[in-house]
Structure 1
Amino acid sequence: MVDCVVKNWQGEEVGQASLELRVAREESAAHIVHRALVRQMTNARRGTASTKTRAEVRGGGRKPWRQKGTGRARAGSIRSPLWKGGGVIFGPKPKDYNIKMNRKERRLALRTALNSRAEDLLVVENFAEQLPRPKTKELVQAIERWGVEPGAKVLLILREFTDNVYLSARNISTLKLMKAESLNIYDLLLADKIVITSEALAKIQEVYSDQ
């Protein structure tokens, strides 16, 4: 169980919140989180890199010169890999890099990763009403009031995106917005601080419960 202090828009403590998720055993936690991270990063590869072999490049159907008597090295095609404009030897071809991982394992790894970031977890009240219009400066100041150092990478997890919150956050290079039901291992581990609204915390408890 993770116990957190809930802060309001001004950065004042206004309550307590807890997150109780089933996580992996200590001896296997690092392994399963690592597997899930490798899977996500590998599956992000498009695998579309492609080169042409000597059979696929254009031209080279005619032998450039006769086999003997010219004093030059024998050649059968101007599209040999040894020639400029020729084919590529052992070059990349389209490939599927996807790695499979059971759904239960993925969710267990996600819960374990989130639980491991307990010290960097900040819970705040829903602040959508505090931004009646898009204002990046006000959101930056609020994040600092919550205890995040300037320049730190922040993952802000919300129940739903409102237009004003999205427009206020999109120009902050060190801030990433994410919905509670769309968490992923990479962003959870990359962030220096994770800020979650109370509503998003309840949604995480609901969505990622092991029931």
Structure 2
Amino acid sequence: MQAICSSFSGLRLSPAAPRAQGAGRRELAVQASVQAPAVDLPVRKLDGSEAGSSSIALRVADPETSNGLVHRYLVHVQRNARQGNASTMTRGEVRGGGRKPYKQKGSGNARRGSKRSPLMPGGGISFGPKPRDWSASMNKKERKLACATALHSAAGDMLVCADFSDMAEVKTATLLGALSAMGVDAKNEKVLLIVNEPNQNVYLSGRNVPTLAINTSHAVQVYDVLNADRIVVEQSALAYLNEWFSQQA
């Protein structure tokens, strides 16, 4: 999977055709996204047999800005996940310190005016954390474009499977067996399973597998996409992804 770097150069501004002299300042054309070429994906049935092929073709970020855009979206998600409730007490908030601990001179110790000093056990904390809001804003069009870019960059590790709607029992071995038959080792690889609709049986069967993440096509998480070694997508979910992420932002 393509590595995500930490640089962000913004949208590329390319000069349009120059106008005649005296017509004023020339215009700038903003190129924010491009239609990526289709990538063929193998299709497997739940028993592992081949069922043809499919393709994924999404509208992705411009190559010059894609890394920075996806990185900014990942930072946005991680910042918004922080609770920001860490809190410490300063020397003005801890208890005690009403009297001088010991006399000013003659004890051989340093001069102390209060036992609430940060230098003493039980005293306040200097420059400690206080509750704060870590959230960062990012508009919907950018988030959509960044998620599409991350998905398309992971197409080489993607596999399409038949829908799990016929899975009638809640059993981890059944889910892992179906993935193994398709050549996906969910025990030793980090796997992302994208289903089209919430499936209670699939969720209950896979929630106790630490290396397996389950997303719906309507709520694909960019962190799970970037973190996964293999991505398994239901056929109906792939159709939704192609339709939603191919629309012009």
Letter in 1 for 2:170: P
- Which protein has greater RCO, CA pairs closer than 8 Å, 6+ apart? 1
| Other-structure match for 1:133 | 169
Instruction: Please list, as runs of the form range in 1=range in 2, the aligned pairs for 1:51-130 lying within 5 A after superposition.
Output: 51-68=88-105, 72-129=109-166
| Other-structure match for 2:59 | 22
**Shift of residue 61 of structure 1?**
2.2
- Taking structure 2 as the reference length, the TM-score comes to 0.78
**1:54 and 1:87 in contact (8 A); partners too:** yes
Letter in 2 for 1:29: S
Further displaced range: 177-186 or 161-170: 161-170
* Cα offsets for 1:74-125 (capped at 9, x unmatched): 3221111111111111111112222222221111111000000011010011
- Taking structure 1 as the reference length, the TM-score comes to 0.90
5+ unaligned residues in a row in structure 2: which ranges? 1-37
Letter in 2 for 1:194: I
Which of 181, 184, 194 is the equivalent residue of 1:148? 184
**Shift of residue 194 of structure 1?**
0.4
**Whole-angstrom distance in 1 between the partners of 2:204 and 2:172:** 8
* Cα offsets for 1:154-208 (capped at 9, x unmatched): 1000012322222222232221111111112111010110000011112223333
- Give the percent of matched residue pairs that are identical in Structure 1 and Structure 2: 50
**Shift of residue 68 of structure 1?**
4.9
SS at match of 2:214: strand
Which of 52, 73, 78 is the equivalent residue of 1:36? 73
SS at match of 1:105: helix
**Residue 164 (structure 1) aligned with residue 164 (structure 2):** no
* RMSD (CA atoms): 1.9
More helix as a share of residues: 1
Letter in 1 for 2:60: V
5+ unaligned residues in a row in structure 1: which ranges? none
**Whole-angstrom distance in 1 between the partners of 2:129 and 2:41:** 49
Further displaced range: 148-157 or 179-188: 148-157
**2:215 and 2:221 in contact (8 A); partners too:** no
| Other-structure match for 1:208 | 245
Distance 1:17 1:71, change over 3 A: closer
**Whole-angstrom distance in 2 between the partners of 1:128 and 1:10:** 14
**2:157 and 2:231 in contact (8 A); partners too:** yes
**2:196 and 2:234 in contact (8 A); partners too:** yes
SS at match of 1:142: helix
**1:181 and 1:207 in contact (8 A); partners too:** no
**Whole-angstrom distance in 2 between the partners of 1:72 and 1:18:** 77
**Whole-angstrom distance in 1 between the partners of 2:89 and 2:47:** 61
**Whole-angstrom distance in 1 between the partners of 2:118 and 2:201:** 57
